[in-house]
């Protein structure tokens, strides 16, 4: 899940927001301002309800951010680097560059999120009680009470032992500790995630069919998401097992063709070297990699401007590109990769570009490894 726009950095972690956040933000603000608040405290101006609903929605997403930041901070303390945090339709996700090194580290990273949400729920409950004690506005009390309830619900839901929820990570840590096999532990957690997802889908559809409750459709949607996410996680775990011990250099395209940063867009598009080979090329400046340019990105420049626009102006800068070393584990790189030419991975050693990796490169490597393993089994 890529961020539509970046908010900035908090505690050194890049924080982004996906456009789908607007959907759930609108649902929360609308539900509070036109439903719960007017029903509980009627007679106020519509502007008061809307202001309260919008403020509550903002604080709710701040709570989600605190939940994900807790994961990120604890991950870093356990030597696991964090790519970024993205808030989206069904909550948030902290993307880790690698996996925990031990069951204990996995337990700490996964467990801190629900603990933070539970703590926030308690603080908001205390705030609601204090506001009521001093006879504050009933709407303010209701806002704090709603935030208390939703944070406790978030903590409880995330603690369910099913991947990809935090509880699924806790289950994996336990199974990893018991069996000593991280891949078997992941398989168990993802199987639990699929079972839980199908249970939510069934309950949601039953609620909708028997009672006409549209909340049932939302429950079914969450279940469907969990099934898909757990399936993807299980597939990635299998691939990580296949790629265990394989370095990035085994999959990369070595010594890729590069584009000088001061090349014009017209020069780039008309140069026969770049026409048929690939859809993305590393950009260099004085021999050092500075970014990645795609043919699609260059073609978006109007023809009457392309002669004056330089490749460095349309490239994906190095800061937004995944950069790894040739001896980095390929299995750790896999979860960070995404489809699309703009998501190619640059392989750099001692400041010099030595290769480039795409998902198709990884796929070819996996196919070769699996065929080799199959051939060895058949030859016994």
The predicted-structure confidence for 269-287, as pLDDT tens digits, reads as follows 999 888 767 899 999 998 8
In this prediction the pTM is 0.77
Catalytic residue check, 305: no
Average of per-residue pLDDT across 28-57: 91
Helix H, strand E, coil C: the string for the chain is CCCCEEEEEECCEEEEECCCHHHHHHHHHHHHHHHHHHHHCCCCCHHHHHHHHHHHHHHHHHHHHHHHHHHHHHHHHCCCCEEEEEEECCEEEEEECCCCCCHHHHHHHHHHHHHHHHHHHHHHHHHHHHHHHCCCCHHHHHHHHHHHHHHHHHHHHHCCCCCCCHHHHHHHHHHHHHHCCHHHHHHHHHHHHHHHHHHHHHHHHHHHHHHCCHHHHHHHHHHHHHHHHHHHHHHHHHHHHHCCCCEHHHCCEECCCCEECCCEHHHHHHCHHHCCCCCEEEEEECCEEEEEEEHHHHHCCCHHHHCCCEHHHHCEEHHHCCEECCCCEHHHHHHHCCCCHHHCEEEEECCEEEEEECHHHHHHHHHHHHHHHHHHHHCC
- Percentage of the chain modeled with pLDDT above 70: 96
pLDDT at 100: 85
Give the residue extent of every domain in the chain.
Answer: 5-159, 180-242, 248-370
pLDDT at 147: 96
- Percentage of the chain modeled with pLDDT above 90: 55
Domain topology for 248-370: CBS-domain (3.10.580)
pLDDT at 88: 76
The predicted-structure confidence for 323-339, as pLDDT tens digits, reads as follows 999 999 898 888 778 88
pLDDT at 380: 52
Residue of 68, 99, 142, 233 with catalytic role: 68
pLDDT band at 79, cuts 50/70/90? Answer: confident
For the cut 60, the answer to whether the pLDDT of residue 378 exceeds it is: no
pLDDT at 376: 58
């Amino acid at each position: 899940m890529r961020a539509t726009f970046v908010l900035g950095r908090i505690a050194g972690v890049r924080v982004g927001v996906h456009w789908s956040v607007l959907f759930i933000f609108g649902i929360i603000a609308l539900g509070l301002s036109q439903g719960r608040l007017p029903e509980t405290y009627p007679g106020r101006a519509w502007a008061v309800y809307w202001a309260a609903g919008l403020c509550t929605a903002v604080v709710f997403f701040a709570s989600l951010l605190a939940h994900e930041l807790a994961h990120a901070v604890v991950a870093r303390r356990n030597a696991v680097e964090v790519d970024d945090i993205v808030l989206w339709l069904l909550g948030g996700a902290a993307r880790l560059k690698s996996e925990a090194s031990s069951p204990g580290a996995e337990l700490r990273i996964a467990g801190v999120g629900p603990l933070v949400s539970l703590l926030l729920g308690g603080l908001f409950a205390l705030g609601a009680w204090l506001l009521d004690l001093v006879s504050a506005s009933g709407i303010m009390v209701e806002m704090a009470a709603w935030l208390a309830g939703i944070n406790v619900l978030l903590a409880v839901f995330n603690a369910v032992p099913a991947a990809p929820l935090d509880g699924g990570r806790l289950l994996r840590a336990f199974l990893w500790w018991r069996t000593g096999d991280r891949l078997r532990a992941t398989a168990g957690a993802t199987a639990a995630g699929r079972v839980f997802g199908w249970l939510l889908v069934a309950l949601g559809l039953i609620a909708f069919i028997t009672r006409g409750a549209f909340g049932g459709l939302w429950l079914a949607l969450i279940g469907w998401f969990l099934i898909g996410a757990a399936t993807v996680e299980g597939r990635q775990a299998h691939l990580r097992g296949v790629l265990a011990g394989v370095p990035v250099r085994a999959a990369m395209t070595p010594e890729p063709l590069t584009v000088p940063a001061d090349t014009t867009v017209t020069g780039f598009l008309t140069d026969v070297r770049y026409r048929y080979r690939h859809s993305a090329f590393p950009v260099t400046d004085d021999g050092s990699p500075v970014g990645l340019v795609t043919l699609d990105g260059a073609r978006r420049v109007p023809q009457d401007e392309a002669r004056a626009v330089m490749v460095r102006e349309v490239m994906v800068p190095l800061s937004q590109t995944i950069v790894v070393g040739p001896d980095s584990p390929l299995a750790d790189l896999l979860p960070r990769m995404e489809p699309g030419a703009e998501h190619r991975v640059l392989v750099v050693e001692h400041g010099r570009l030595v290769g480039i990796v795409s998902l198709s490169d990884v796929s070819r490597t996996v196919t070769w490894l699996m065929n080799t393993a199959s051939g060895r089994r058949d030859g016994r």
